[in-house]
Amino acid sequence: MSTRLIINHIDLYDLAGKHLKKIIQPNKMINIANLPSGIYFLKINVENESLIKRMVKK
């Protein structure tokens, strides 16, 4: 059985916790070309829950 969750929006934060961007209609890909190298956090908001993922841009 496969469950698909609908992503409401994604919040992007830097390592210091500063909110950088809110992505309202996320597709399969998010453009991070304009971000400098570093560690970022994605807060993925799905239905009634949030999931936080760490992302490293080299």
Q: Tens of pLDDT along 2-22?
A: 677 788 999 999 999 999 999
Confidence class for position 30, pLDDT limits 50, 70, 90 = confident
Tokens read off for 3: 């469950």
Q: What was the pLDDT predicted at 56?
A: 97
Instruction: Give kind and range of the element (H or E) at residue 9.
Output: strand 7-14
Q: Is the model more confident about 26 or about 36?
A: 36
Tokens read off for 27: 């597709």
Q: What is the DSSP letter of 35?
A: S
Report whether pLDDT(40) > 90: yes
Mean pLDDT of 41-54: 94
